[in-house]
Structure 1
Amino acid sequence: MKMKPFVRERNFLLLMTGVFINEIGSGLYLIAGMLLVLNLSGSVFFSGLAVFAITSAGAMSFLIAPLANYAKYKNSLVYSNLIKGLILLSIPLLHYTIGLNVWYVISLLFIVALFTQYTYPIESTVLPIIVGKDNIVEANSYLQTIREGFNIAFLAGAGIIVTFIGTIPAISIFAVCLLVVSLLYTFFNFPQPDISRENLKSVQSATIAYVSDLKGGFNYIKNSLVPKMIFSIVFINIAMVIMTTNLPAFALTKGNGTEAAYGFYLAAMSLGMLIGALVTPKLKHIDFGKLIIVTFFGTGLMWMGTATLPLIPSIMLYCAGAVSIGVLNILVFSSIQKQVETQFIGRVITLLTSAASIGMPVGALIGGFIGEAFAPHISVMICSISIILFSVYWLSSSVLRKLPSIEHVNLFSGSGA
């Protein structure tokens, strides 16, 4: 397979290396952060608060994205990672001196998540600048492959590593990774787009400019296909969270009480999404509408098998069903990056991710109720049926059903955007 020229491009290599280093530590951080909260509080309730704090930051991301317009993209990436690294280093510093408080740790998890919501859309914005819009699908596939590949590795082993070295050293490793990424990004030399900004001389003028930018993101997409995509992603996310909320209990049931089964299901999801990221460049010439309808209908059927079959075939079908999620992620975000004006890419993608995050606590509440009232496999079956209904919704919509290949999809046809 011939390597694409953009893969050797300096700025793409820097971005890819940064993602690589970030993923090395993030698997440890996510597990260590939750375990640290649990260890400090001795209560699962506080672990729930930590998850709520992180997902709340995701739900607020549409409010954060316009702030990216007030700094150069390079500076934003450098200083955001630097600040996150320094914030997290305060955890081992306090631990080895005056001691840690659980509320302090939860607050830091929330703040770090807010900074992540700020930098993620910037990474999505600079990617078309670095690789060119014609290479977006392939570039996203490369980056997603790195992310999902390391998710698989660390979901399988991060718990063991954290148990061996402890939560504080694990968080310290991630903090150091962030500092290295910050240093690495100082070597970016991609062209900064000339985005006009008001001369912000006061808090009032800054607020007016911010609100204007926020409205601009909504106005930009209101007559496009993006709202339909947002609805689809929200629906999928609620269904997914209903299932994943009950996944630990479901895995224990399937594995006859073996806790390792939960890790196997998580790794299977990541593996499926990785396969989706890898095959997406080969599928980009297929009509987008038909591709989504067929793949998600198949996912619904496979996850019905996940709910009803024994452990090994259940995990295999769970993995296979996740392939469509990986494909959808790459194609949707790639289409936005190809067609949305540079200064709006971050805001549009953030609207999508914010909407998805808003659905997560709703799905968690529904999933918790279902888990209390029924057996764990019921939630997996509900998710499966919801995925099939999603496919049927696309089939019933002439606009979505007739969407051409991602190379020819016009998100803003007739919108005047």
Structure 2
Amino acid sequence: MKKIPPFVMERNFLILMLGVFVNGLGSGIYYVAGMLLVLNVSGSVLYSGFAFFALTLANTMSFLIAPLANYAKYKNSLVYSNLIKAIILFTIPLVNYTIGLNVWYVITLLFITALFTQFTYPIESTILPIIVGKDHVIEANSYLQTIRESMDIAFIAGAGILISLIGTIPSITITALCLILVSTLYAFFNFQQPEQDREKSKSIGSAVTSYFTDLKAGFTYISNSLVTHMIFSLVFINMSMVIMTTNLPAFSLLKGNGIEAVYGFYLASMSLGVLLGSILSPKLKHIDFGKLIITTFAGTGFMWIGTSLLPLIPSMILFSTGAISLGIINILVFSSIQKQVETAYIGRVITVLTSAAGLGMPIGSLIGGVLGETFAPEIPVMICGISMIIFSLFWLSSSVLRKLPGIDHVHLFSS
């Protein structure tokens, strides 16, 4: 029997795992309920595009938000941010049962809660090496991602059924309660936050200067790195993914003959694929990274073309299998960043990278909304599959990306 790594039983890592578990329950319900609520209130796929535009715009803005985490304690930031998100979500049932919900109010709240997520996500990425040590980052990330995706499989699949039984509004209330529980859990963290080498100043001018210095540091890390060779292809693939996910609620309703729970099943099948990729990633880190990405994403493209054409059950199987490549690239790339970047810069580098890679996502959400209004929902899914193949061909045509060695030997950043 394989021995359990000692970091798994460490107090702070257990708290983080439990927080990820509860967050998985809440976010699984929220993701399904939020998008179905927009579709139900508006009755239009175009507004689903606007909702995804709001979510992806928040993701693109994350590079502006991440440096703010340096001016607060990591623990306090996690606790209060999740608490504020809970309060925001509690306003949805309040407004619904009093003056009635407007679709733009829902979209605005989706945007605001997404902004808070952009603030907390880099903090969680930053504290992981502090808790487990840099030597255990890939394995610890694999543990956490396995929990995330396992919960997504169970909770997103169950969310569709739950929403069918109790409705979208009560389901969002459950998410708010989960966020309160997460805030309570994170209040028990006791890790030591590293001291930042910056001069403390009370002047607003100095604080603004420090903010832009932090912001520039993230860009400097990225600009002098191998990551710049990946950005264009990542922008392209993210835009294609959003074109598909914008239409996934309508696509699921079509494949499932109008049954709302099928949307949850499609999301769960994607989570299953990402989970398998996360589990496999530590075993694949010795394979040449360039060849691994080219092969897996080409396979994803063909599988998702099949997803758009086949009946429900084989469609979901191919959709899940195609998502394995997403889990692999997520774990390997972000684990490398956490290992190679100084702790104080991890959050900034990750958010600059995700912001840059997400530049095409707001555009993709609007394109997806227009395509969904104009064509059958299978078309955007097929377009995404074709885009995965184009992504693979781009990496194949680039000698720098094609020849990348195993991820442990890839130097993403110049020394």
TM-score between the two structures when normalised by the length of structure 2: 0.90
Q: Quick one: distance in 2 between partners of 1:305 and 1:361?
A: 26
Amino acid at match of 2:235: V
Query: Relative to 1, partners in 2 of residues 1:42 and 1:405: Cα closer, same or farther, differing over 3 Å?
Result: closer
1:32 equivalent in structure 2: 33
Superposed CA deviations along residues 79-110 of structure 1, whole A, max 9, x for unmatched, are 21222223333444555667666655443332
Kindly indicate whether residue 236 of structure 2 is the aligned counterpart of residue 235 of structure 1. Answer: yes
Q: Quick one: distance in 2 between partners of 1:160 and 1:279?
A: 30
Amino acid at match of 2:347: G
Q: Quick one: distance in 1 between partners of 2:344 and 2:325?
A: 29
Paired-residue identity, %: 71
Query: Relative to 1, partners in 2 of residues 1:357 and 1:411: Cα closer, same or farther, differing over 3 Å?
Result: closer
1:292 equivalent in structure 2: 293
How far does residue 381 in structure 1 lie from its aligned partner after superposition? 3.1
Deviates further, 53-62 or 269-278: 53-62
Contact 1:233 1:352 in 2 (8 A): no
Kindly indicate whether residue 249 of structure 2 is the aligned counterpart of residue 270 of structure 1. Answer: no
1:212 equivalent in structure 2: 213
Q: Quick one: distance in 2 between partners of 1:298 and 1:355?
A: 25
Query: Relative to 1, partners in 2 of residues 1:133 and 1:306: Cα closer, same or farther, differing over 3 Å?
Result: same
Equivalenced residue count is: 414
Amino acid at match of 1:20: F
1:332 equivalent in structure 2: 333
How far does residue 28 in structure 1 lie from its aligned partner after superposition? 2.1
Q: How do 1:159-308 and structure 2 match up within 5 A?
A: 159-255=160-256, 260-308=261-309
Q: How do 1:75-154 and structure 2 match up within 5 A?
A: 75-93=76-94, 104-154=105-155
How far does residue 127 in structure 1 lie from its aligned partner after superposition? 0.6
How far does residue 151 in structure 1 lie from its aligned partner after superposition? 1.6
How far does residue 143 in structure 1 lie from its aligned partner after superposition? 1.2
Q: Quick one: distance in 2 between partners of 1:167 and 1:298?
A: 35
1:2 equivalent in structure 2: 3
Amino acid at match of 2:89: L
Q: Quick one: distance in 1 between partners of 2:334 and 2:367?
A: 28
Q: Which runs of 5+ in 2 are unaligned?
A: none
Q: Quick one: distance in 1 between partners of 2:42 and 2:393?
A: 45
Q: How do 1:7-86 and structure 2 match up within 5 A?
A: 7-36=8-37, 48-86=49-87
2:348 equivalent in structure 1: 347
Secondary structure of the residue aligned to 2:408 is coil
Superposed CA deviations along residues 367-414 of structure 1, whole A, max 9, x for unmatched, are 3444455544333333222212211222222221222212221112xx
How far does residue 332 in structure 1 lie from its aligned partner after superposition? 0.9
Q: Quick one: distance in 2 between partners of 1:308 and 1:32?
A: 26
Contact 1:238 1:359 in 2 (8 A): yes
Amino acid at match of 1:188: F
Amino acid at match of 1:408: H
How far does residue 165 in structure 1 lie from its aligned partner after superposition? 3.1
TM-score between the two structures when normalised by the length of structure 1: 0.90
Deviates further, 187-196 or 330-339: 187-196
Contact 2:28 2:152 in 1 (8 A): yes
Q: Quick one: distance in 2 between partners of 1:330 and 1:171?
A: 29
Query: Relative to 1, partners in 2 of residues 1:365 and 1:45: Cα closer, same or farther, differing over 3 Å?
Result: closer
Deviates further, 348-357 or 370-379: 370-379
Q: Which runs of 5+ in 1 are unaligned?
A: none
Deviates further, 241-250 or 257-266: 257-266
